[in-house]
């Protein structure tokens, strides 16, 4: 799989170190508040799994599956709920966990949805932020790394469902998705 990479952007060690720091920041922010931590499937799965272990205060987890990319590297712009939460968000401090914010369409949809459902607060932690991809104004509350405007894969991020199981993040060679 490494042969499909133009460049390794973030090593496993860099990712894990950053997750420790984010975990400490979340612990400080939510101490004594029992937040509802919402992982956005499927991409956020590895990040969510590592992140919650780095948080040292009580929290509840739930998952939402939304999709807007299909087999393309460009967002369709239409966010579809594939699986909704099992938990009521009314009155809860919600922390959304994302692997990447690119156009911002997925997150702006989720933030509005949770506000409509009367969450007490809605915040976002993302491992990766690609600000150059933005189509809507959105700044995450906590960010691991800012990445360039290229299609990245690994550590949850896929191309056509592949590469999610890489422990690192890399830039895919264009010939892999163009070919």
Which residue has the CB atom at the shortest distance from ligand HPA?
Answer: 102
Site track 110-149 with ligand PRP (rule: CB under 6 A), x = hit: ----------------------------------------
List Cα–Cα distances, 164 to 47, 60, 78, 80, 141, in angstroms: 11, 24, 22, 20, 24
**Contact of residue 152 among ligand PRP, ligand HPA, none (CB under 5-8 Å per partner type):** ligand HPA
* Closer of 93 and 99 to ligand HPA (Cβ): 99
With binding defined as CB under 6 A, does residue 43 bind ligand PRP?
A: yes
Beta bridge partners of 101: 129
With binding defined as CB under 6 A, does residue 96 bind ligand PRP?
A: no
Exposure string over 118-154, b if 16+ CB within 10 A, otherwise e: ebebbbbbbbbbbbebbeeebebebbbbebeebbbbb
Task: Look at strands 93-101 and 80-83 and give their pairing.
Answer: unpaired
Which residues are identified as catalytic? 102
The residue assigned the tokens 């101490």 is 31
Q: How far is the CB of 72 from ligand PRP (least distance, A)?
A: 9
Chain residues that interact with ligand HPA, rule: CB under 6 A: 69, 100, 102, 151-153, 157
């Amino acid at each position: 799989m490494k042969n499909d990479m133009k460049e390794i952007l973030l090593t496993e060690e860099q990712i894990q170190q950053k997750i420790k720091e984010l975990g400490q920041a979340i612990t400080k922010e939510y101490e004594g508040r029992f937040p509802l931590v919402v992982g956005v499937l499927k991409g956020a799965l590895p990040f969510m799994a590592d992140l919650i272990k780095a948080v040292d205060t009580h929290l509840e987890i739930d998952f939402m599956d939304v999709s807007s990319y299909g087999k393309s590297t460009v967002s369709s712009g239409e966010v579809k709920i594939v699986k909704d939460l099992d938990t009521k968000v009314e009155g809860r401090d919600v922390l959304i966990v994302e692997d990447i914010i690119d156009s911002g369409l997925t997150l702006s949809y989720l933030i509005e949805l949770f506000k409509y459902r009367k969450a007490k607060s809605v915040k976002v932690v993302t491992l990766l932020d690609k600000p150059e991809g933005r189509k809507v104004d959105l700044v995450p509350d906590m960010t691991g790394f800012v990445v360039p405007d290229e299609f990245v894969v690994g550590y949850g991020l896929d191309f056509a469902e592949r590469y999610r199981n890489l422990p690192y993040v890399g830039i895919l060679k264009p010939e892999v998705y163009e070919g």
